[in-house]
């Protein structure tokens, strides 16, 4: 790759610029703010700053990472897709189903390589977890407990959390969209789910205008029940997924990158990587997308899969609204 670009100047965009320079040290890297305005700060790992998508198209960049706030993804992605420029869109693909369908229509029409940045699919323990469930390691699956909690003010210590994308409803804030990784891997591991109950709350802890707690109950096609809890208020980061079956239990810690199997006889560590660099997930994701661009075998997250996540989030919101109306 000789010319690449990253749209957005936030933390995830900074990571992508750095990683692209690792993969392509001699490339010319273009950066663009979400709004197209000039940055008043130094932009790291950047050769040129542009002010519009047309500039990137005219420069004939070979790959663009769209790391702008989710409500801007459609505006940024459509002209690139129409120009045939491969685009890796950060999660969530959009904030609503209508915009996701517009991107899907453009991909179908122009056949441009596009993938969605759900990096947790590239966590080393994720594929192992997928294989264990496929092999029926715990027999018949009955229950799933997915929990994630992270204290929002600690996410970006150099910025007031109230001004962040995560806290701003117009920028796609709130736990449902910001923590949508859980919905992505839930359906990837379990298949399509049906929302049975949803409770969205805004706590008194952070003074936000978006939901900072969510509790959802869903069922799978096989009849298993999945409980998902998301929050912005836990002081110590917590990301755990547990599967309970007829032959035992699997506890998957996504922060420690470990999997423990518990049976009636013993507790076994199936996978544990004591020292691992989480940046490798992002590097692997970029390399996988490059394989897709080249027409090679890949495991990229498709727009169709990301669309199902948006559908699920909208169903959760509607379920929560219906609960309030019926109370």
CATH number of the CATH domain containing 27 = 3.40.50.720
Residue located via tokens 């423990």: 260
Domains identified in the chain, total number: 2
HSE-up of residue 186 (Cα within 13 Å, Cβ side):
34
Are 56 and 85 within 8 A, CB to CB? yes
How confident is the model at residue 158, as a pLDDT? 79
Report the CATH number that the domain containing residue 267 is assigned in CATH.
3.30.360.10
* Residue 282 maps to a domain: no
Please state, in angstroms and rounded to a whole number, the distance separating the CA atoms of residues 210 and 25.
40
How confident is the model at residue 22, as a pLDDT? 98
Q: Are residues 49 and 147 in the same domain?
A: no
Q: Are residues 253 and 143 in the same domain?
A: yes
Domain boundary among 95, 112, 129: 112
Domain boundary among 112, 147, 167: 112
How confident is the model at residue 85, as a pLDDT? 98
* Residue 298 maps to a domain: no
Are 283 and 23 within 8 A, CB to CB? yes
pTM over 0.75: yes
* Residue 277 maps to a domain: no
Q: Are residues 248 and 184 in the same domain?
A: yes
Please state, in angstroms and rounded to a whole number, the distance separating the CA atoms of residues 65 and 67.
6
Q: Are residues 186 and 256 in the same domain?
A: yes
* Residue 58 maps to a domain: yes
How confident is the model at residue 137, as a pLDDT? 97
* Residue 84 maps to a domain: yes
Are 242 and 252 within 8 A, CB to CB? yes
Q: Are residues 107 and 167 in the same domain?
A: no
Q: Are residues 64 and 195 in the same domain?
A: no
Q: Number of helices and strands (H, E) in the chain?
A: 10, 14
How confident is the model at residue 160, as a pLDDT? 87
How confident is the model at residue 159, as a pLDDT? 82
* Residue 279 maps to a domain: no
Q: Which parts of the chain register pLDDT below 70?
A: 327
How confident is the model at residue 223, as a pLDDT? 97
Q: Are residues 178 and 264 in the same domain?
A: yes
* Residue 128 maps to a domain: no
Q: Are residues 145 and 24 in the same domain?
A: no
* CA dist 110 → 3, 88, 89, 180, 256 (Å): 21, 15, 16, 27, 41
105-161 pLDDT, tens per residue? 999 999 999 999 999 999 999 999 999 999 999 999 999 999 999 999 998 877 888
Q: Are residues 151 and 40 in the same domain?
A: no
How confident is the model at residue 87, as a pLDDT? 98
Q: Are residues 179 and 320 in the same domain?
A: yes
* Residue 295 maps to a domain: no
Q: Are residues 99 and 179 in the same domain?
A: no
Q: Are residues 196 and 76 in the same domain?
A: no
- Note down the domain range covering 63: 3-112
């Amino acid at each position: 790759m000789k010319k690449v670009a990253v749209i957005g100047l936030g933390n995830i965009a900074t990571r992508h610029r750095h990683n692209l320079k690792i993969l392509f040290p001699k490339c010319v890297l273009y950066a663009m703010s979400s709004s197209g305005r000039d940055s008043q700060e130094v932009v790291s790992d950047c050769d040129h700053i542009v002010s519009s998508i047309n500039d990137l198209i005219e420069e004939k960049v070979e790959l663009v990472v769209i790391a702008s706030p989710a409500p801007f993804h459609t505006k940024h992605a459509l002209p690139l897709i129409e120009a045939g420029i491969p685009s890796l869109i950060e999660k969530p693909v959009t904030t609503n189903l209508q915009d996701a369908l517009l991107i899907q229509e453009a991909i179908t029409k122009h056949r441009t390589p596009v993938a969605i940045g759900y990096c947790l699919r590239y966590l080393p323990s994720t594929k192992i977890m997928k294989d264990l469930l496929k092999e029926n390691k715990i027999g018949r699956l009955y229950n799933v407990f997915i929990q994630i909690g992270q204290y929002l003010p600690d996410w970006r210590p150099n910025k007031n959390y109230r001004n962040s994308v995560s806290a701003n409803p117009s920028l796609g804030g709130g736990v449902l969209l910001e923590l949508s990784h859980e919905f992505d891997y839930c359906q990837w591991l379990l298949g399509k789910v049906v929302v049975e109950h949803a409770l969205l709350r805004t706590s008194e802890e952070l003074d936000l205008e978006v939901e900072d707690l969510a509790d959802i109950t869903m069922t799978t096609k096989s009849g298993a029940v999945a409980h998902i809890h998301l929050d912005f208020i836990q002081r110590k980061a917590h990301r755990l997924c547990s599967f309970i079956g007829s032959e035992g239990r699997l506890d998957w810690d996504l922060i420690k990158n470990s999997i423990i199997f518990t049976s009636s006889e013993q507790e076994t560590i199936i996978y544990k990587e004591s020292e691992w660099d989480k940046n490798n997930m992002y590097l692997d994701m970029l390399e996988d997308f490059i394989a897709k661009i080249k027409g090679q075998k890949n495991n990229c997250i498709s727009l169709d899969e990301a669309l199902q996540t948006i559908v699920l989030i909208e169903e959760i919101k509607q379920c929560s609204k219906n609960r309030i109306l019926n109370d």
